[in-house]
Amino acid sequence: MAKDWKEIARATLEGSEADTMTFPEGVKMLMEGGYDGYAIDFRRGTRTYYLANGEALELKTAPVSVSVTESFDTAAVKDAIREAQQMLPGYSYNKFCAKVMGAGCAGYLVSLLGKRVVYYGRTGEIHTEHFPGTKQ
C-alpha cells in the first residue's frame, strides 16, 4: 500500500472533478494504492474510499446543480457512461454527474476487485457496468 493512502484518494477526486484524470487513470492509481473501491453518494455529496483492511475515507464532492430524479432511466445512464468512455467533445465529469442524476442515479459503487460499477436509483433499480475489456 502507498505511504499516504488519503492523499491518493484526494488526488483521484480532485483529478476527476478538474477533468485532469480519466476514470482508467484513477482506477489504476487506487488499485496501486491498495484500495478495494469507492462509492459516490450524489444525495449527500460525498465520495467514500475503502481499503481492504476496513479503513475508509469520506470526502465532500463538488456540488452539482441537478437533483436526483425519482425515476431511474437505465438507457440515459448507459448513454452518459458511453459518452464518458468515448471522451466525446465537451465531456466533463461534472456534466456526467448531472446527466446520471437527471436520469435518477442516486449514486454508484466502484468495485476495483470486481472490475465493475453499480449505478443505483432512489427506489433500488440498478445498472451494472463492467470495466471495458473485462469478462462479464
Cell numbers found for residue 10: 484526494
pTM tops 0.85: yes
Q: Which amino acid is at 74?
A: T
Is residue 105 domain-resident? Answer: yes
Is residue 15 domain-resident? Answer: yes
Cell numbers found for residue 96: 456526467
Is residue 39 domain-resident? Answer: yes
Is residue 135 domain-resident? Answer: no
By CB atoms closer than 10 A (0-12, 13-18, 19+), residue 26 is buried
Which helix (H) or strand (E) segment holds residue 40: the answer is strand 35-41
- The CATH code of the domain that includes 15 is 3.30.1810.10
Q: Which domain holds residue 96?
A: 5-130
Cell numbers found for residue 28: 489504476
* DSSP-assigned letter for residue 70: S
Q: For every one of its 136 residues, what pLDDT tens digit does the chain have, with 9 covering 90 and above?
A: 446 899 999 999 999 999 999 999 999 999 999 999 999 999 999 999 999 899 999 999 999 989 999 999 999 999 999 999 898 888 899 999 999 999 999 999 999 999 999 999 999 999 999 997 666 5
Is residue 136 domain-resident? Answer: no
Is residue 31 domain-resident? Answer: yes
Is residue 79 domain-resident? Answer: yes
Q: What whole-number distance in Å separates Cα of residue 118 and Cα of residue 37?
A: 11
Number of structural domains found in the chain: 1
Is residue 97 domain-resident? Answer: yes
